[in-house]
Amino acid sequence: MTLISLSLLALSLWIIIRVLVIIYRLAWHPLARFPGPKFAAATSAYEFYFDAIKGGQYTFEIGHMHKKYGPIVRISPHELHINDPGFIEELYPGPGKPRDKYAYATGQFGIPDSVFGAVSHDLHRMRRGALSPFFSKAAVTKLEPVIYSAVDKLISRIEEVVESTGFVDLTMAFSCMTTDIVTQYAFAESSRFLENPDFTPNFHEAILAGTRMGSWARHFPILFPVLRSIPIDILSRMSPETGVFLRWQESMRKKVSEIWQDQSALPVKDKNVSPFGSTIFHELFHSDMPDSEKHPGRMWQEGQIVIGAGTETTAWTLTATTFFILDNPNILSKLRKELAATMPNRYEKPSCRELEALPYLIIIQEGLRLSFGVATRLQRINSEAPMIFRQKKTNDTIEEKVWEIPTGTPVGMTAALVHLNPELFPDPHEFRPERWLDQDGQLHRGLDKYILSFSRGSRQCIGINLAYSELYMGIGILIRRLGDRMQLFETDRTDVDMVEDCFVPVPRRESNGVRVRLSAQ
């Protein structure tokens, strides 16, 4: 048999196998009875087209699916998606109901040994347990002087940059601030990005480049091993974005290795010493985790998670929230009045607890709602039993329908869809802080459970307390100090609306950021 004949035979067999697989997925697969596009049920190429080829568009396509097929849809051969706020507590429960992650989704950043990459509930619980003490409310309260110092530096640098150039890009400024805070805490050495003349360089582009690569890495897990085998200088010439991300990963690897070597050389009595107490990685290397977990070959991946998750999501919420405040004079006036009553001297140093008690500063929650946090769907798997989804009666359905989701099935929900649910949030695209207040103008927390910016349950974002402290102190102090002078500059709603889901929300690529200028004092 000739080589051509063998090739044709192999191709024929491959086609036959693929056809049989598609038939199985459409007719006999455990998810075959669930509604959704047949193309999506047949092949993951449907998702790949929208996310990798079209660039972060599958979240929007999933939204279209729900409008056509209802609250539960099959969005890939193996995965379901639900758009019903009533299912949040079932999908994202507390510690008493274990949930695994979907291995397909955890591989998108090339850090399989991190807490983010932990598929099983038990492995995640062990890794998270080592990190949790650093992000408790008590630990973050002790960090408030560092946060305040960064906010103070941010404000002075905004004034300097505006005086020099006429305007400032808050997108970059907030990214520098959050990075300086988390690097100081993680490594006992701040990145000091706020000191850079125009807030660059920073990690913003590197993290964004990595999230964009995730759409490809999910479908081709070999992507990161292949890229790391290519010298970075060569790779950077081939793809500057990829080079930026891998250089950032290398910086994490280098920093964590340096801490490991320094701590290994210290006598026990001197371990964990830092300028303001123990820092995350100084302590992790001497935690109760197994030695296999503490090796720098794994720990640098935790470094990427701590720095990556602790910078861009919070920075974007700060940016978008500031835009919405400045874009609405009535909202700005109300907030300034409330802050002035609490801080008669604009240079006071309020605690995060004091700021959280201010009713109108619930504006932070409305900012989280419209900035989404993590924009993409977050899947969970019940490996122990089926999950039950009860489809409510609507105008299109005569009666309630009960769906039994097979054990081991990945199921996702998406903050970007829940946060724009008009039944929960009337006129959902409008920025309305009042929706979080009662008739007397006091806080009511009834809608909090529908905010998925940090996910929910036992796998909720570990940095939620740090993020809230940065949000309340960042917005509160900034508006108190500069709110009477800040004005949007060549910026509109299109500079904050999400048009691309790159794990984090991304506005139009032509955007120049959220830019502001300052009026004379």
Q: Which two tokens stand for residue 310?
A: 């602790």
Residue 268's pLDDT is 45
Q: Which residue has the tokens 């990556």?
A: 308
Q: What residue numbers does the annotated binding site for heme cover? A: 461
Is 322:491 a contact under the CB 8 Å cutoff? no
Residue 136's pLDDT is 93
Mean pLDDT, range 403-418, rounded to an integer: 97
Is 504:316 a contact under the CB 8 Å cutoff? yes
Mean pLDDT (the chain) is: 91
Top pLDDT among 167 and 12 is at 167
DSSP character string of 359-427:
GGGGHHHHHHHHH-SS-S-EEEB-SSS-EEEEEPP-TT-SS-EEEEEPTT--EEE-HHHHTT-TTTSSS
CA–CA dist 234, 183 (Å, integer):
29
Predicted confidence (pLDDT) at residue 275 exceeds the cutoff of 70 = no
Residue 292's pLDDT is 86
Helices (H), 49-112: 58-69, 88-91, 103-106
pLDDT single digits (tens) 172-189: 999 999 999 999 998 888
Mean pLDDT, range 66-86, rounded to an integer: 97
Top pLDDT among 149 and 209 is at 149
For 36: left if phi > 0, alpha if psi spans -120 to 50, otherwise beta; the answer is left
Kind of pairing between the strands at 80-82 and 72-74? antiparallel
Q: How far is CA 381 from CA 29, 80, 496, in A?
A: 17, 10, 32
CA–CA dist 361, 185 (Å, integer):
26
Domains along the chain with CATH numbers: 102-356+427-518 (1.10.630.10)
Predicted confidence (pLDDT) at residue 271 exceeds the cutoff of 50 = no
The DSSP code for 271 is T
Gyration radius (Cα) of the chain, Å: 24
- Winning range, highest mean pLDDT, from 251-260, 278-287, 292-301, 343-352: 343-352
Residue 1's pLDDT is 62
Predicted confidence (pLDDT) at residue 396 exceeds the cutoff of 70 = no
Residue 400's pLDDT is 82
Residue 270's pLDDT is 45
Measuring CA to CA, which residue among 259, 290, 252 is closest to residue 273? 259
CA–CA dist 357, 361 (Å, integer):
8
Q: How far is CA 267 from CA 264, 270, 482, 503, in A?
A: 8, 6, 48, 42
Q: Which of 73-87, 143-157, 182-196 has the lowest mean pLDDT?
A: 182-196
The DSSP code for 50 is I
Is 515:169 a contact under the CB 8 Å cutoff? yes
CA–CA dist 421, 86 (Å, integer):
12
Residue 329's pLDDT is 96
Q: What residue numbers does the annotated binding site cover? A: 461
Contacts of residue 59, Cβ cutoff 8 Å, sequence gap at least 6: 375, 376, 377, 414, 416, 417, 501
Band the pLDDT of 278: cuts 50, 70, 90. Answer: low
Band the pLDDT of 62: cuts 50, 70, 90. Answer: very high
**pTM of the shown model:** 0.93
Peptide bond into 201 cis (omega under 30): yes
